[in-house]
Amino acid sequence: MKQKAYAAAGVDIDLGNKVKGTLPKLLASTHRREVLGKVGGFGGLFALDVKKYRQPVLVSSVDGVGTKLKLAFAMDKHDTIGEDLVNHCVNDIAVLGAEPLFFLDYLGTGKLEPHVFTDIIKGFARGCAANGCTLIGGETAQMPGFYQAGEYDVSGTIVGVVEKSRMLNGQKSVKRGDAVIGIASSGLHTNGYSLARKILFEQLKFQPGDFVPDLHNTVGDELLKVHVSYGPLVQKLLKRFNSQLSTPNSQLPVRAFAHITGGGFVDNIPRVLPAKCDVVIRKGSWEMGPLFELLAERGGVDDAELYQVFNMGVGMVAVVAAEQADAVLKFIRSQKHKAWLIGEVVKGTGVARVQ
């Protein structure tokens, strides 16, 4: 049979349709009862149950996973990237107290490889199922000549909901004397990979498959560790400590969360601070982890920059009332997350200082 002209030009629509035909089975684990219609329509349909809320506020976020993709390409391992992306997006809306509802993905590639597509979608489905949101739709674009051979890009959009009266607003609730709790990351998560790859592969001459005793792991596997989702933990914390609707926002025990992504401590914590408060983070008050110790000791990067580029072992920060800090720490640890008291809120001008 003569090859179709579009396929000869590099875009195989028939192959795309065949691969996408596996989606209903792959996405079954993410289904929520609010979903209407089937995946593959022009738009995803989600019937929000407004009876559950007095004043529902929709919260959305969009993101990618940056040059972490380079590790996936190098190791031909694609089943964790989708999970990374879902978890990153979940964390971004969790800091407002939002529950994730649905997620949409975008995948762009030069040539559609069925096993790569399937592995990526499996990661999306695993992440969505773990976070209780549905993968409601997406877009797969074949663009020959646009990407390097064997490479692709992914991004995702999440939509969640929060009751307006329970929405977290650190700029109104955080105050001097509050405690800052750091919750452990699994590694780099999805930020700082350009610098980490330069240090590890160019300066230190490691290969992705090299086993490094200090890491107790290969470099590649260490860098591909999945971005932790803090969404379920945040919801449990808010239910346990902030459940009283009648409590004024400023008196809620859990004041704010900051997702430590690109910009590290220095750029992310100020996003939830009042103009007259600073946060002081105390170095050495948490277990940094061997990867960050390696980057700090052998990377030749100033400390100040390390704490602005990397999460340094803390993926989420919680600002809580000082008198509740011990109880919150105990609760977080009971949920199988490592956590430490790493700083406090002081008088200032809305900045975070690591010292």
Q: Are residues 236 and 157 in the same domain?
A: no
Query: How much of the chain, in percent, has pLDDT values that exceed 90?
Result: 79
CA 39: distance to chain centroid?
A: 24
Largest CA distance in the chain: 75
C-beta neighbour count of 124 within 10 angstroms = 26
Q: Are residues 16 and 149 in the same domain?
A: yes
Q: Are residues 12 and 113 in the same domain?
A: yes
What is the average per-residue pLDDT within 286-308? Answer: 94
- Note the pLDDT tens digit of each residue in 19-65: 666 677 777 778 888 888 777 778 888 899 999 999 999 999 999 99
Question: Between β-strands 339-347 and 277-281, what pairing exists: parallel, antiparallel or unpaired?
Answer: antiparallel
Give residue 178's pLDDT.
98
Enclosing domain of residue 35: 5-166
Q: Are residues 111 and 178 in the same domain?
A: no
Question: Which stretch of DSSP H or E encloses residue 319?
Answer: strand 314-320
The domain boundary residue, chosen from 166, 198, 227: 166
- Triad 324, 326, 327: Cα angle to 5°: 65
Give residue 58's pLDDT.
97
Q: Are residues 158 and 176 in the same domain?
A: no
The DSSP result for 217-285, as a single string, is EEHHHHHTPPPPP-HHHHHHHHHHHS--TTS-GGG-SEEEEEE--TTHHHHHGGGGS-TTEEEEE-TTS
The DSSP result for 13-26, as a single string, is HHHHHHHHTTHHHH
Scored b (16 or more CB within 10 A) or e, 255-280 reads bbbbbbbbbbbbbbbbebbbeebbbb
Q: Are residues 188 and 121 in the same domain?
A: no
Q: Are residues 222 and 314 in the same domain?
A: yes
Q: Are residues 119 and 174 in the same domain?
A: no
Q: Are residues 254 and 317 in the same domain?
A: yes
Name the domain count of the chain: 2
3-state secondary structure of 60: strand
Q: 329 with 181: CB under 8 angstroms?
A: yes
For residue 83, give the CATH number of its domain: 3.30.1330.10
Q: Is the pLDDT of residue 244 over 80?
A: no
Give residue 9's pLDDT.
66
Q: Are residues 28 and 142 in the same domain?
A: yes
Q: How confident is the model at residue 15 (pLDDT cuts 50, 70, 90)?
A: low
The domain boundary residue, chosen from 166, 197, 216: 166
* Residues sharing a CB contact under 8 Å with residue 267, sequence separation 6 or more, in sequence order: 308
